Structure 1
């Protein structure tokens, strides 16, 4: 009896010690496997090299991303490209710049152009600069649709202030929630581990394993391989970005092509041989935790292969009159909707009589349910966080005021560095709020949005920041406020398209910017960067990026004739503005016609409002099961908001993007993670970074060496950026006539 007692006590002590070690390091296994627990607070951070390379990389990425954003072959360059490119430049500057101190005339200040070897913390801050340049500026959508789609004028100062305020507002109130979403070890921000892993591979000295590779050698091999291969899908054989063999077999069947098309249909049997297809829209699947991939997969398959076929087959909302998947809007005859017929040109507001004489707005069945599911996603996010994280958030609230977060990373940061004063955040918040109201109320109220609309939008962003931040910080998914903001202002202030998109941008993007700020702060937390240095770099980077994005967009919109206007552009012109048309059609749905005539009692899609109720209730059964069976830990990994939004990025993403993303994610982050964990810990995130960087560098090389001069590959079937399923977008209702489509009888 005594020996059993002793053995039990020893086992409990061992378990307790093991758990205590996990808390002292990090309670998240992926973080323990990836993030170093060492720090050198003597390393210089805000050096001349940091400012020069950081601002240069920020401005370069901002210019290139905006320049490519207007073109048919759009390209989005991530900060990983700059992260790799600046390393040899930083080392070169450390080797050639003079080390003598330079004194600032008339002051006691001095600095050195070369304070020593190029170090890890400089590299991290330069990458934070690059993040600001690569993240895009959502307000450019408003400027573009005003000038290129609605063909109206907007004051350049108003446009610039709109750009700046929407990008910087979220930084103010991010400071309110940083204790919860940065200091807490349970808010681990999975995507940051890719960059942490790459930083360590680039900077840490490592002994090559016998018959193996160092992490840097592995990264270089992946980078070179990805770079060399991407010339095939990007230039020689673009059709392998979506191979839909079902369409090749049934060339004259609309139904077969709707089922098999990876670009315009359900994508059954469709696949791609292109990393850009895998990582487009959803990001690299290697950066997502396994449970998030499973939840997304379940949601995607339930939406695309259960809900949509049932709804289309039953002809819900007259679905067969329109394509099964499309982001465009249609009239009752199945033709694209002519918004010019229902918009008053003199006051730029909705014309009810013209609308009654013309047609109600119709959506493809997928587009309609995409809005319904977005309603459910937002409602379920609040319900899920309250049920599963409510007690934790309350405990963290109490612990926050007592500073009781106690993993090793938080302890090191508090020991070695001063926190950012709260008044920095509050001052920024007040200044930007004032400028935002001036932007909307001034300049002849060109943006149509009154001051109370700005305040309401910001209130919504603050309200949803914590629950959405928790989802982002634990699953790498970020439910958006774009639809709920459109819905609210559309009911409150209908018939004004610019007021609608301005309200959406202030509500949605200010929250996104807050999440971005917090994510970058967590990266700095992992890499042990002084918080004040992080804040300054993020602030300056955002100002630089906003200015360059705006300047590039304004230059192109005012200098390229008929930009974005497909009916007037010359044959083969690249200035087709892919992506901006989705924003334009959303402004029609929510701003011109309004939600009352779309999702209210005057509209066709009023039943979509039941998705709000569904979203609120959906997490409850999972929560009850988790309480009834606490020993079954897998139940707590069921994330209802992620399941509901599983196909949330479709439109603009396509089914082939999701199929490839899920396949790669399941293989690496479930199969490899479980069977070959040591390999996964060493190589997974580096593999992701190498693939991304290789694609980006080859795309730049191809464009500026060949495609900018209209030198393309030989003209053959595989050169088309298409999956060769021309009938996938055809209607199947009897009597509907659409160009290039058969008529059913």
Structure 2
């Protein structure tokens, strides 16, 4: 048995960007019987019971119900001002007693399927871990979201145009399924490889073990299950305060309270609409709602994200704003909206040809160029840099390892690359045939072309746009998958896809967002599929069972998301229009509003009138070159000074993409997320490693579940009846920084703001 200590100079290999071994060391004739990643060794068991049934009646029944309920709740709350994300952990907890109840009450007598020789039992024995994992995969499908619903929303609620419901349904289904077609191509690299460890999955593994393994309570301590329920109860009880009685706790910005009449001070101190200096939140949803749980991210990734946040918000944005670059003082310092040259919101109706639903060039030329806030402009520039940095970083740091992986997977010696988990899976279970993935790919591409080319071309995207989107997604799935599988961060393709189709097919907003969705989400879905496959890999689930559950779960979730959205968009009057909604109405669609702004920038106006000499921001194109070259000096220094371990911790794609979740995430979310993550995954990990290994992922799951359950409880019992907390200062869900959104250029008149 090899050494289990993979630390060098105090830096754990799992938390570094050390070049991974391409072959697990062999001592004598015995291969190291574990994972080379320390967090995996501390969390994932190296045992399996192949006799446990997995795809049972209980799996289908509880899994589909979980998928439907989570799909409905997440889409329902997604249209509301105070969004609530109900994750699969909630279902993971609830289905355990339900599964045990079914095991105790259902008949075990085999039931024959009519007209076949097949039989099944509604109760094949005790409710087991593998059933529980597959039910949770169903729930993951319901909790993951359906990006194409944004397109349906902006067409019906913002542009107020007709959309064939069948075209909308096909759009929702095909964008979710397309990525599965080529996920199979990368299983060898992103699932079987022990160095692709998918950190977020360890939270789920820890919770599964806590719920299923019999554990003796340590003297003076708690079992992991007892610890989970203690934290869950505390999180559930506490969330009534920031979720109902005192919403201001979600974003505390003391600078604004001190300088109540200073626009500059509030721009600096506002956590929601400013730079967030001194701002923080006392609410777990502030910490984890937009960026995910920081407890599941390696500390080097957290620090790189924080570095990117500092680069954008504390270097680029202040320099641009206070030097008035791009007339920045005419606009809010932090905003995702679009503006005209006078600092007013851009009037899209003045430049849109209603008959053909494309850009009226004469009207645009007589109105105004399109302007962005300094933050939004630099966020696009950093998105350009992230894309090219991802390519060069993976080529420099991981290119040789990818080549070695390829050679091993095509040679007889490939099993030497496997760890114990891969060997167990190959020994006991049959892999998913490659032709399953090929059938899905061909069928989905055909349906995608039909959805966009048929129905009077309501979605505007031609057939070649679908094929180009597929090519882009396929090209980036492997490099971005490597980053996500090792850092828990996923650089997005949304901006580059918008840019490409914006140049090739300008002036058509729906073609732009459809192309973005097919290109970006198909890659994201492929990685989601592979992440779930890795969870099944850790938990020793038969791959064919995993495949079927993911496929059917995706179809069910897409159908429910579409149905819920169509119902609300056709039944709630003035949905997504705050100016027309009655006072106190929650149906403001904050996420859809950002998507709508993007459709204006990239679809109607287009990058040709934004990022060339015709527009305001041609200089941002230099970010492409900056991103391509930035990893080179880091790679060179890491090779020249291999003894300096921290150099390899600098991850340029994560730094440049650090603020990719802004908006809807704000400064207070990033600062709170980073503080909690660094405390647990650096200080606690180094000083109290035993406690960290036993409790950290359980703590993350319990905090998430407590917030989710209390959020649903508050809505069902109070908020759905328009019963809110007592009217007082703390009931305001803002951070009390009303001047943070004001311009500071002379003569700009905005309601509620001083005129300079």
- For Structure 1 versus Structure 2, the TM-score category normalised by the shorter chain is over 0.9
Q: Summarize the Cα distance change of 1:22–1:72 in structure 2 as closer, same or farther, 3 Å threshold.
A: farther
Q: Which SS does the other structure have where 1:25 is aligned?
A: coil
Q: Deviations over 1:327-346 (max 9, x none)?
A: 00001111111100000011
| Alignment equivalent of 1:463, drawn from 461, 475, 478 | 475
Provide the residue aligned with 2:358 in structure 1: 349
1: distance between equivalents of 2:117 and 2:217? 48
Residue in 2 that maps onto 1:33? 42
User: What residue number does 1:608 align with?
Assistant: 620
- Of 270, 277, 286 in structure 2, the residue corresponding to residue 277 of structure 1 is 286
Name the counterpart of 2:493.
481
Alignment deviations for residues 574-629 of structure 1 (CA, whole Å, 9 cap, x no partner): 21111101000100000000001011221100100000000000000000011101
Distance (Å, rounded) in 2 between the aligned partners of 1:511 and 1:301 = 28
Aligned residue pair count: 730
Structure 2: how far apart are the matches of 1:730 and 1:246?
16
1:635 corresponds, among 647, 652, 661, to 647
Structure 2 counterpart of 1:494:
506
Which residue is equivalent to 1:442? 454
Distance 1:20 1:468, change over 3 A: farther
Distance change in 2, residues 1:22/1:639 (3 Å): farther
Distance 1:115 1:671, change over 3 A: same
The answer to whether the aligner puts 1:595 opposite 2:607 as a matched pair is yes
Structure 1 residue 298 displacement after superposition: 1.5
Per the TM alignment, residue 425 of structure 1 is displaced from its structure 2 partner at its CA by 0.3
Q: CA deviation at 1:573?
A: 1.6
Moved runs in structure 1, 4+ residues, more than 6 A?
15-22
Equivalent positions of 1:625-664 (< 5 A) are: 625-664=637-676
Equivalent of residue 621 in structure 1, options 626, 633, 640: 633
Counterpart of 2:428? 416
Give the corresponding residue for 2:515: 503
Aligned to 1:8: none
2:203 is the counterpart of 1:191? no
Does the Cα contact within 8 Å between 2:335 and 2:376 map onto a contact in 1?
yes
Answer whether contact 1:622 1:635 (CA < 8 A) is retained.
yes
State the shift of 1:21 in Å: 8.4
Residue 20 of structure 1, CA deviation: 10
Q: Extract unaligned runs of 5+ from structure 2.
A: 1-23
Query: 2:718 aligned with 1:712, yes or no?
Result: no
Determine the structure 1 residue equivalent to 2:67: 58
Q: Higher mean Cα deviation, 224-233 or 306-315? A: 306-315
Kindly report which structure 2 residues correspond to 1:259-298, keeping only aligned pairs within 5 A, or say none: 259-298=268-307
Corresponding residue to 1:569 among 574, 581, 588: 581
Whole-angstrom distance in 1 between the partners of 2:580 and 2:320: 37
Q: Distance in 1 between matches of 2:232 and 2:526?
A: 32
Cα distance in 1 for partners of 2:312, 2:362 equals 37
**What CA distance in whole angstroms lies between the structure 1 residues aligned with 2:242 and 2:372?**
32
The within-5 A match list for 1:169-208 is 169-208=178-217
Question: What is the correspondence of 1:643-722 to structure 2 with a 5 Å cutoff?
Answer: 643-722=655-734
Q: What is the 5 A alignment of 1:58-77? A: 58-77=67-86
Q: Is the 8 A contact 1:322 1:330 kept in 2?
A: yes
User: Over aligned residues, Cα RMSD in angstroms?
Assistant: 1.2
Change (3 A) 1:43 1:352: same
Asked if structure 2 preserves the Cα contact closer than 8 Å seen for 1:63 and 1:549, the reply is: yes
Name the SS for the 1:183 alignment partner: coil
Residue in 2 that maps onto 1:387: 396
| Whole-angstrom CA distance in 2 between matches of 1:118 and 1:689 | 21
Task: Provide the rounded CA distance (Å) in 2 between the counterparts of 1:578 and 1:199.
Answer: 34
| TM-score, normalised by the number of residues in structure 1 | 0.97
- Over 3 Å counting, the alpha-carbon distance change for 1:345 and 1:19 in structure 2 is farther
Q: CA deviation at 1:109?
A: 1.2
Taking a change above 3 Å as real, the CA distance of residues 397 and 103 of structure 1, as seen in their structure-2 partners, is: same
Contact 2:26 2:32 in 1 (8 A): no
1:23–1:406 Cα contact (<8 Å) kept: no
Instruction: Return the alpha-carbon distance in structure 1 between the equivalents of residues 27 and 614 of structure 2.
Output: 62
Deviations 1:452-480 (A, max 9, x none): 00000010000111100000100000001
Q: d(CA) in 2 for partners of 1:18 and 1:358?
A: 74
Equivalents in 1 of 2:577, 2:303: separation in Å?
Answer: 41
- Which of 546, 551, 557 is residue 569 of structure 2 equivalent to? 557
Measured after TM superposition, the shift of residue 352 of structure 1 is 0.8
Q: Which residue of the partner structure matches residue 46 of structure 1?
A: 55
* Within-5 A mapping of 1:395-434: 395-402=404-411, 403-404=414-415, 405-434=417-446
2:100 to 73, 78, 91: 91
Distance 2:134 2:482 in 1: 25
1:316 aligns with 2:325: yes
Q: Deviations over 1:255-309 (max 9, x none)?
A: 0000000000111111111000000210000000111111111111122112211
Aligned-partner Cα distance in 1 for 2:493–2:662: 16
Structure 1 residues 408 and 317: alpha-carbon distance in aligned structure 2, compared to 1, 3 A threshold: same
1:106 Cα deviation (Å)? 2.7
* Kept after mapping to 2: 8 A contact 1:341/1:354: yes
User: Structure 1's 390 and 566: CA in aligned 2 closer, same or farther, altered over 3 A?
Assistant: same
Kindly indicate whether the alpha-carbon contact (under 8 Å) linking 2:25 and 2:32 is maintained by their aligned counterparts in 1: no
Counterpart CA distance in 1 for 2:30 and 2:615 is 58
Question: Aligned partners of 2:44 and 2:380: how far apart in 1?
Answer: 39
How far does the alpha carbon of each residue in 1:352-401 deviate from its partner, in whole angstroms, 9 at most, with x for none?
Answer: 11111111110000000000000000100000000000000000011111
Q: CA deviation at 1:105?
A: 2.7
1:740 paired residue number: 752
Aligned to 2:368: 359
1:144 aligns with 2:153: yes
Cα drift, residue 716 of structure 1: 0.5
Q: Give the Å deviation of 1:723.
A: 0.4
**Structure 1: 5+ residue runs without aligned partners?**
1-14
| SS at 2:616 equivalent | coil
Q: How far did 1:632 drift?
A: 2.1
Determine the C-alpha separation between the residues in 2 that align with 1:478 and 1:243: 29
Matching of residue 532 in structure 1 with residue 544 in structure 2: yes
Q: Distance in 2 between matches of 1:548 and 1:258?
A: 41
Moved more, 537-546 or 556-565: 556-565
Q: Following the alignment from structure 2 to structure 1, what is the Cα–Cα distance between the partners of residues 167 and 363? A: 31
Q: Secondary structure at the match of 2:598?
A: helix
- 1: CA distance between counterparts of 2:697 and 2:418? 26
Task: Give the superposition deviation at 1:567.
Answer: 2.3
In 2, Cα distance between the equivalents of 1:19 and 1:189?
Answer: 30
CA distance in 2, matches of 1:589, 1:426: 36
Instruction: Provide the rounded CA distance (Å) in 2 between the counterparts of 1:198 and 1:154.
Output: 43
Tell me, yes or no, if the aligned pair for 2:70 and 2:139 is still in contact at 8 Å: yes
In the alignment, which residue of structure 1 is the partner of 2:236? 227
Structure 1 residue 17: Cα displacement: 7.1
| Partner Cα distance (1:51, 1:522) in 2 | 21
Q: Any idea what the Cα deviations from partners look like across 1:213-271, whole Å, max 9, x if unmatched?
A: 11000000010000000000000000010010110110000000000000001111111
**Partner of residue 248 from structure 1, selected from 247, 257, 261:** 257
| 1:634 CA displacement | 2.3
Aligned with residue 377 of structure 1, among 386, 407, 432: 386
Kindly indicate whether the alpha-carbon contact (under 8 Å) linking 1:264 and 1:729 is maintained by their aligned counterparts in 2.
Answer: yes
Corresponding residue for 2:176? Answer: 167
